[in-house]
Amino acid sequence: MHEVMQSMDYWSMLFVFVLSTFIGIGVIGRVSRLLHTPLMSITNAISAIAVVGSIIVTGSEHPLPIRVLGAIALFASTTNIVSGFLITDRMLKMFKGDRKNK
């Protein structure tokens, strides 16, 4: 009985993950280019939460495969944050260059 309930939890978690993926793609796909910089700031904040969670998972007493997944999540989230800041900085420099020419 416990095993059936546990596998059902995995199916519901997979359903939520897939549903949130489609909703996220739909929402981000409709964002105007002018709102790109604020949107990147929000996603950087969300990635920072993922970094904290992955540090906790990687450094705790979980089995090795879970800690490896935590390390992969840590790397992916950190890469997302750094690249998000670089892209945002580059876009802001493009707008600053337009004001100097006028």
Q: Kind and range of the H or E element at 56? A: helix 36-59
Between 68 and 12, the higher pLDDT residue: 68
- Quick one: 26 and 40 in the same domain? no
- Residue 28 CA: distances (Å) to CA of 38, 77, 83: 12, 18, 17
61 phi and psi angles, rounded to 5 deg? -90, 40
- What domain range is 55 assigned to? 33-101
**pLDDT value at 100 more than 60:** no
**Average pLDDT value over all residues in the chain:** 78
- Quick one: 24 and 37 in the same domain? no
Percent of the chain with pLDDT strictly greater than 70: 78
- Quick one: 23 and 41 in the same domain? no
Q: What is the pTM of this model?
A: 0.58
Question: What are the pLDDT digits (tens) for 42-86?
Answer: 777 788 888 888 898 888 888 898 899 989 999 998 998 888 888
- Quick one: 48 and 1 in the same domain? no
What is the number of domains present in the chain?
2
- Quick one: 25 and 41 in the same domain? no
pLDDT of residue 71: 92
